[in-house]
Chain A
């Protein structure tokens, strides 16, 4: 957050969701304009559809789809976030200091989602280009059918990681014992180490060594319908 700037406080116990979102979404704002949302009390669809370079800090827990379809904005949730946080994000950054529920970052095309705690099932499902860094563990079916983009997990990954993966990349520091269909461990080359390091830096991961991670990706065996693949379907 840029110092010296006016902070506009939006109180969800006083204003309606529509009014708060309308204000955040509204026409051109000065770059870096800073908003603080208080009393979110688990509100759904908060700070969704933002499309300018503003900063929003949410003081408390949010419900489903917080920062959904985010563009350009930086949204920090000081608390836990419900299902589908930052779903279909296009650009910008979403950071959650606590844990997140299912489908975090689902279908995101761009931007960075950082989860300081754990993420539940289907984290990064159908990812289309965004980057996700989870400092804790991720639940089962994470990165299911993910097409592009990157998931970095500092903890462990749940069952069926990367099932039916396309060109997306996964880095896990802890255990990933149960990989989904067509997901395989891959060699870490220099370009991967660089990319991973850059993401760890962006997510402020501190003293975490790139060498502790393994890389997973698609074996590309399910890219074409073949009788030999029938077991996998």
Chain B
């Protein structure tokens, strides 16, 4: 663009992305399916700031006074709750969407920091179970690979109602990624474009779900915590109904949440942003006197210790990360710039997780590409990243005088925009005004 003519004016309505999409649609006749999460701008946790300590609040010494980060999940009904050392978990991502090496690396990194990983819409692999000290087993509408032995091998069970990228959408895995092993685990013909169901086959609604949870508990002797994961559609009611159905833990995933393959229109236009979802879910728990008794895990666009700390201050017990964990493993690594260029993209823009051609070897089933990811080294990078998130979270907690990350509270926050103030339920910075409340 060096020779850009300064009189050229790009349309705001028909910018280059829009024009490219109309042209693509006109050529193919099919909607765009892609990975990654929402790319448009929405109000986020960035629109909040911590107030910090001053005359009326005492900070804690950075390197001397302890700031606890441990979390217990699932003590409501489970006889063996999950104990995490840090309030950051790895979100469910299927073997199939990810390579076996990537799953192993996630397990290695998470286990090093004492936190959990989660299976996904494709069953449990031995690599993953073997390398994850705490593994959450997803119970999805598709039930691919679902079996009672793996259920009993898991440390917790996550019933997936939805995910942030596509609340109400079923799974997809395109033919390029349905290799022999993936096909066998899912009982599908090799190479087909797989669509998985968006609703569970044997229950609808919270009353049925309560009985489903009873069954899962009976099969696993009431040992395992049972999570319910929802995309942020109606977070207040979804959380309340999850509690009523008997969940030990609610996972609430905002619209920015990543995906392996979803229609672009779904990714960008369905669901509430994470910032808006957290206070609604927390309010539901408080109204039922269940806050901190049923734990809340929040996901969708969590990138930094600041995001973690703000989510916790708004009332979450832990967060879950997908996209940022993949980036820590090596997703979008500029070292593969030449390969990205060949695919018509660039490092930093790659979003075609559905395609199976991932230069970094993470979202692929191609053995040559997958071998580019060394699970030991990638696991170490994830562990480092989790360390940084934890240190940053502690830094912010101490700055607000808190000796446990769960002691941070909405009162420690101010909002930088009217929208964020209204969504988060904290005052607009410099005022005592919470739109809609005061």
Contact = CB atoms under 8 A, between A and B. Distances in A.
B146 interface: yes
B208 interface: yes
B346 interface: no
Interface string B180-224: 000000111100110101000111000010011011001111100
A166 B218 contact: no
A68 B208 contact: no
B30 interface: yes
Interface in A16-32: 17-18, 21-22, 25
A69 B148 contact: yes
A44 interface: yes
Given A64-B208, A83-B202, A18 B218 contact: yes
A11 B116 CA distance: 41
A84 B202 contact: yes
Nearest to A102: B202
B228 to A, nearest CB: 17
A45 interface: yes
Nearest to B31: A225
B28 A90 contact: no
B215 A45 contact: yes
A172 interface: no
B151 A69 contact: yes
Contacts of A63: 211
Contacts of A25: 219, 221
A224 B197 contact: no
Nearest to B210: A44
Interface residues of B, number: 33
Interface string B146-173: 1110010000000000000000000000
A227 interface: yes
Given A126-B201, A147-B187, A224 B215 contact: no
Interface stretch (A52-60, A103-111, A200-208): A103-111
Contacts of A102: 202
Contact of A65 (B148, B195, B211, B221): B211
A125 interface: yes
Contacts, number: 103
Contact of A45 (B33, B188, B214): B214
B30 A225 contact: yes
Contacts of A45: 211, 214-215, 218
Interface in A54-92: 63-65, 68-69, 71, 83-84, 87-88, 90
A106 B201 contact: yes
Interface string A197-222: 00000000000000000000000000
B211 A64 contact: yes
A163 to B, nearest CB: 11
A49 interface: yes
Contacts of A71: 148
B175 interface: yes
A148 interface: yes
Contacts of A180: none
Interface in A134-173: 144-145, 147-148, 164, 166-167
Given A69-B147, A88-B147, A122 B201 contact: yes
17 contacts: A18-B222, A44-B215, A45-B211, A48-B219, A49-B148, A71-B148, A90-B148, A106-B201, A107-B202, A125-B201, A129-B187, A145-B197, A147-B188, A166-B188, A166-B189, A223-B192, A227-B29
7 cross-chain pairs, A with B, having the tightest CB-CB distances, nearest first: A49-B219, A227-B29, A84-B202, A103-B202, A45-B215, A223-B192, A107-B143
Given A49-B148, A83-B203, 10 more contacts: A25-B221, A44-B211, A69-B147, A88-B143, A90-B148, A106-B201, A107-B146, A125-B201, A126-B143, A166-B192
